[in-house]
């Protein structure tokens, strides 16, 4: 159990936080990990705060409860900082990753005195420069892979290229944009 990494995602209905959690589970699975990816069980409504979870482990995962003491928290929408206690239960040995234009110092007042590491990424900028559209999932996924170290970065990129080239076989430009977004996110997360 101790080798299990637990991640909690905060987003708003429709932004794809659940999809991001499932994508991360997918990639980790392909790296031979045992995975769980699930939303907080309930109705999903566009714009309402939602939570999704990941467990990633080297051995079988049996537990079926929500995650209360995550190693990592990912905040896909910065506005949630004002309404949701995003650092609740977050381990000080872990980290929080926030999608924002601001710096970590700017956001500290909203993190309830969290003592662990705070990472930020401007996912909108990454998206606009690489995809031309705002899909925060892609950069957030790369950023959490980098800071958590659960998957080796090069292997992650290979796997993403592989699965995206299947998915977008008829739209190579989408593949290119997504790959650029992932690589840029690796550099931009700070």
Partner 1 sequence: MSTKNRMSGNEALGEAIRQINPDVMPAFPITPSTEVPQFVSNMIANGQVDTEFIPVESEHSAMSAAMGSEAAGARTITATSSCGLALMWEVLYVAASSRLPLAMCVVNRGLTGPLNINAEHSDSMGARDSGWLQIYAENNQEVYDNMLMAYRIAEHKDVRLPIMICQDGFITSHAVENIMLEDDEPIRKFVGTYEPEHYLLNADEPMAMGPYANSPFCMEAKRAQVQGMMNAKQVILDVAKEYAKISGREYGLYEGYRLGDAEYVLVCIGSACGTIKDAVDRMRESGVKAGLLKVRVFRPFPGEEFAKALENAKAVAVMDRAESYTGHGGPLGAELMAAMYRNKNKAEAINVIYGLSGRDLTVEMVCGLYDQLADIAVNGTKGREYQYLGLRE
The alpha-helical segments, DSSP class H, found in the chain are 17-30, 104-107, 123-130, 137-148, 153-167, 172-188
Q: Is 166 in the site for partner 1 (CB under 8 A)?
A: no
Provide the minimum distance between the beta carbon of 58 and partner 1 in the complex, in angstroms, as a whole number.
12
Among 3, 66, 79, 102, binds partner 1 (CB under 8 A): 66
- Residue 39: alpha-carbon gap to chain centroid: 13
Q: Is 154 in the site for partner 1 (CB under 8 A)?
A: no
User: Which has the closest alpha carbon to 19: 128, 152, 146, 140?
Assistant: 140
The binding track of 96-125 with respect to partner 1, each residue x by CB under 8 A or -, is ------------------------------
The alpha-helical segments, DSSP class H, found in 31-167 are 104-107, 123-130, 137-148, 153-167
- Residue 82 CA to residue 84 CA, distance in Å, equals 6
Provide the minimum distance between the beta carbon of 186 and partner 1 in the complex, in angstroms, as a whole number.
24
Q: Is 155 in the site for partner 1 (CB under 8 A)?
A: no
> Could you say which residues in the range 15-54 bind partner 1, by CB under 8 A?
22, 25-26, 29, 34-39, 41-43
Provide the minimum distance between the beta carbon of 146 and partner 1 in the complex, in angstroms, as a whole number.
22
Q: For residue 5, which phi and psi values (nearest 5 degrees)?
A: -95, 130
Q: Is 60 in the site for partner 1 (CB under 8 A)?
A: yes
Q: Look up residue 35 and give its DSSP letter.
A: E
Q: Is 1 in the site for partner 1 (CB under 8 A)?
A: yes
Q: Which residues bind partner 1 (CB under 8 A)?
A: 1, 22, 25-26, 29, 34-39, 41-43, 60-66, 68
């Amino acid at each position: 159990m101790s080798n299990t990494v637990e991640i909690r995602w905060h987003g708003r209905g429709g932004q794809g936080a659940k999809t991001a959690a499932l994508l991360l589970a997918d990639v980790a699975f392909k790296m031979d990990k045992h995975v769980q990816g699930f939303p907080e069980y309930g109705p999903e409504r566009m714009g309402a705060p939602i939570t999704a979870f990941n467990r990633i482990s080297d051995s079988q995962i049996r537990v079926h409860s929500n995650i209360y003491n995550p190693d990592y928290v990912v905040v896909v929408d910065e506005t949630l900082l004002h309404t949701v206690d995003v650092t609740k239960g977050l381990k000080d040995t872990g980290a929080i990753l926030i999608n924002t234009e601001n710096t970590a110092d700017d956001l500290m007042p909203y993190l309830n005195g969290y003592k662990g590491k705070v990472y930020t990424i401007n996912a909108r900028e990454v998206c606009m420069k690489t995809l031309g559209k705002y899909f925060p999932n892609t950069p957030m996924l790369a950023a959490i892979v980098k800071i958590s170290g659960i998957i080796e970065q090069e292997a992650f990129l290979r796997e993403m290229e592989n699965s995206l080239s299947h998915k977008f076989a008829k739209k190579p430009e989408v593949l290119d944009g997504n790959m650029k977004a992932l690589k840029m996110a690796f550099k931009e997360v700070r």
